[in-house]
Amino acid sequence: MPGLAGGAAPKLGFGLPVSGSWATPANMITIAQRAERLGYESLWTYQRLLQPVDGGWGEMYRCVQDPIVSLAYVAAVTRRMRLGTAILNAPFYTPVMLAKQLTTLDQVSGGRLDAGLGLGWSREEFAAANIAYENRGARTEELVTGLKNIWTADVAAYQGRFFTLEPSEVRPRPVQRPHPPILLGGAAEPALRRVGRLADGWISSSRHNLRKIGDDIALISSAATEAGRDPAALRFVVRGVLRLGDADNPDDARRPLQGSVRQVKDDLRRLGELGVTEVFLDLNFSPDVGQPDTDPANAMSVALGVLDTFAPAVTG
């Protein structure tokens, strides 16, 4: 079945420094430019508005830069790499506000934006954004419909349960036509089916079980077929939470992309065989890199070493 299995190694991207002590403007530029020189395909950010004092979500969420602003910043110092949000919490936005921001990012980057959107999971952030946590799936689906309307209709207009836009001209238009790729997150069956029905692809979360990703891809592809869409045209993007060690870890006791360099490279090939089209290595979730109290010089040393080790010319 198209879209269920691949064979080619997935394209490789890299997580931009957005979390912790290494997430400085200078380091963003250094990582972005070096990744582009080494042949990486893309740079990715993620969104976190806050962490409750007693939340215990993890150190990677304590100090996070804005994803859209960060990508706009490195758009000016790169030329080829795609720039992705993985992910924006869609319910926090209205279609017209998000369309304006994403269109501008697509414009300033010369048409390199990948718009990754998700439902969000933090009730505390929903409260801070003054948005109801309930019905966030339906709200996200309506937002995606609104984005497409704004980006494709000569006169944009919509009337929905959550959003309304009276007939309006919303300009400028994105560079990419008909619109930048819309990639959705999510792990539950309704979310995966929503990807197949509506989106240009899927982005896995940092905690996703990569050992079952073939089943997830099959479900998304099936939903696309049922909706009359071509599953072979979909993108399947994995956030690669990388943890490297000097020696092999027992395969039955480790998560994919965590182990020796040899094991991780084998994992990347296996993900490609399962239908994954892209993996971005994200050190923002590494305790050696993406934490506020990590020594920034050491964090950058680790990150630059990983960039060199998995550079596409080397990995291929």
pLDDT digits (tens, 9 = 90+) for 75-84: 999 999 999 9
Model pLDDT, residue 1: 29
Would you say residue 244 has pLDDT above 50?
Answer: yes
Per-residue pLDDT band for 55 (boundaries 50, 70, 90) equals confident
> CA–CA separation, 166 vs 173, rounded Å?
18
H or E element that contains 279: strand 278-282
The residue-averaged pLDDT of 122-144 equals 97
Per-residue pLDDT band for 313 (boundaries 50, 70, 90) equals low
Model pLDDT, residue 4: 42
Q: How far is CA 73 from CA 83, 105, 292, in A?
A: 11, 10, 21
- Domains observed in the chain: 11-315 (3.20.20.30)
Tokens linked to 311: 């550079």
Would you say residue 315 has pLDDT above 70?
Answer: no
Identify the residue whose tokens are 């002590």. 21
Residues 6+ away with beta carbon under 8 Å from 69: none
Residues 6+ away with beta carbon under 8 Å from 26: none
Model pLDDT, residue 199: 98
H or E element that contains 216: helix 213-226
Yes or no: say if 255 and 298 are a contact pair by the CB < 8 Å rule. no
What mean pLDDT value characterizes the chain? Answer: 94
Would you say residue 70 has pLDDT above 50?
Answer: yes
Tokens linked to 304: 């630059």
Would you say residue 154 has pLDDT above 80?
Answer: yes
Would you say residue 207 has pLDDT above 70?
Answer: yes
Yes or no: say if 151 and 200 are a contact pair by the CB < 8 Å rule. no
Distance from the Cα of residue 140 to its chain's centroid: 16
Model pLDDT, residue 7: 58
Tokens linked to 259: 């182990």
Distance from the Cα of residue 149 to its chain's centroid: 23
Model pLDDT, residue 314: 52
Per cent of the chain over pLDDT 70 is 97
Tokens linked to 87: 């992910």
Residues 273-301 have pLDDT tens digits of: 999 999 999 999 999 999 999 999 999 99
